[in-house]
Amino acid sequence: MKKIVPFSMLMATLVFGEVVKPVDNTLYLKECGSCHFAFSPGLLPKRFWVKMMAKLDNHFGTDASLDSKDTQTLLSYMVKNSGDKVLITKIHSQRLIIYAE
């Protein structure tokens, strides 16, 4: 499948590369990096990850659902490493609100 690297996220990764921790979870890299670049949980705040993981069966028009054990494992990892930098939140909240609604 074609790898998707949204420009906004890529730029954030580059600009905030020094403050956003790289992904270091094998399950996350495998499950969340198969269709696109595995976005670092540090790029987005906790509330977005929680909402996103609750609706994986309708993930930007695709079905990215996992079994409940993996979903829970990944969510814990994402919440633990989520970002709370206001600047990053602002950049990404607009796009992410679209699926969070």
Q: How far is the CB of 6 from ligand HEC (least distance, A)?
A: 3
Kindly tell me the number of DSSP H helices and DSSP E strands found in the chain: 5, 0
Looking at the Cβ atoms of 20 and 74, the one nearer to ligand HEC is: 74
Residue 66, judged by CB atoms within 10 A of its CB (0-12, 13-18, 19+), counts as middle
90 touches 80 (CB < 8 A): no
**Using CB under 6 A as the criterion, which residues of the chain lie in contact with ligand HEC when the complex forms?**
4, 6, 8-9, 31-32, 34-36, 39, 59-60, 62, 64, 74, 95-96
Looking at the Cβ atoms of 18 and 63, the one nearer to ligand HEC is: 63
Q: How far is the CB of 18 from ligand HEC (least distance, A)?
A: 20
Looking at the Cβ atoms of 59 and 85, the one nearer to ligand HEC is: 59
Query: What region, left, alpha or beta, does residue 26 occupy, with left being phi > 0 and alpha being psi -120 to 50 degrees?
Result: alpha
